[in-house]
Amino acid sequence: MKPRVITATAAIAATAALLGTSATATADPQAKAAGEEVISFVSNGKLKLGKTITYQFVCGVGCNVKAEVSIALPGPNFTATPVTATNVPAGQVLEDKLKPNGPLIKAIKADKGRAKLQATITGTNVATGEVDVDKRTFKFK
């Protein structure tokens, strides 16, 4: 390897290390990879398209939840109002239901292969303040 490539690689690694430590020191406590049980999705696979679109998630501990969803389409995307729930007990399955209007349903049906529902759920452990963010992209049946 050339000396300038090694120097550039070392500089990038040092910068990443500095940014990583400063970002985690000021942020909320994050769920560790082994302990990401604060919140998780229950729904797997493709979602059924109808008058309502439903996906489920569960809190592993007592938590506050915020769910954000958008539907990616060819052309303009659709973004729904975020859903929040407070003091959800551990193990309770929550369900987010979207009621798309007629033109949105037609747009999804017209191009089911490219239409996707992108969901982001954020769970905050009530006792410790630990934050867990899960993202999932669903396709339609």
Segments making up each domain of the chain, as ranges = 1-28, 31-139
Q: What is the 3-state secondary structure (H, E, C) of 68-106?
A: EEEEECCCCCEECCCEEEEEECCCCEEEEEECCCHHHHH
Q: What is the pLDDT of residue 75?
A: 78
Cα-based torsion angle of the residue sequence 68, 44, 42, 80 in order, rounded to the nearest 10 degrees: 20
| Spans of the chain, pLDDT less than 50 | 1-34
Taking the C-alpha atoms of residue 87 and residue 64, their distance in angstroms, rounded to an integer, is: 5
Q: Which two tokens stand for residue 38?
A: 């604060």
Q: What is the pLDDT of residue 36?
A: 59
- Record: fold of 31-139: Immunoglobulin-like (2.60.40)
